[in-house]
Amino acid sequence: MIELAKHAKEEVDSVASFPAWNQREDIKAELEVKLILLLAKYGYPPVANDDVYKKILEQAENFKRNRGWG
């Protein structure tokens, strides 16, 4: 799980470099696809669940607010 978390953070960091990334649906959709593929690579979640991807996006947006990204 540590490797998965590291790779997920790398994906979020790459997308979060765009201005107002969390307000642009096209960028959020791109991140969601990247996360879906990454999670599938690690066999998670065992059953597709949109809530998993939404939680990751919510965490990224929360991190941006609290860490001053963008």
Total-model pTM:
0.65
- The per-residue pLDDT for 69 is 47
Rg from Cα positions in the chain: 12
- The per-residue pLDDT for 32 is 85
Tell whether the model's pLDDT for residue 70 goes beyond 50: no
The number of domains in the chain is: 1
Q: What's the token pair of residue 44?
A: 């998670």
- Which residues, at least 6 apart from 25, have a Cβ–Cβ distance to it below 8 Å? none
- The per-residue pLDDT for 46 is 65
For 6-53, the pLDDT digits (tens) are 898 898 888 878 888 878 888 888 888 888 889 889 887 666 667 777
Domain carrying residue 25: 2-67
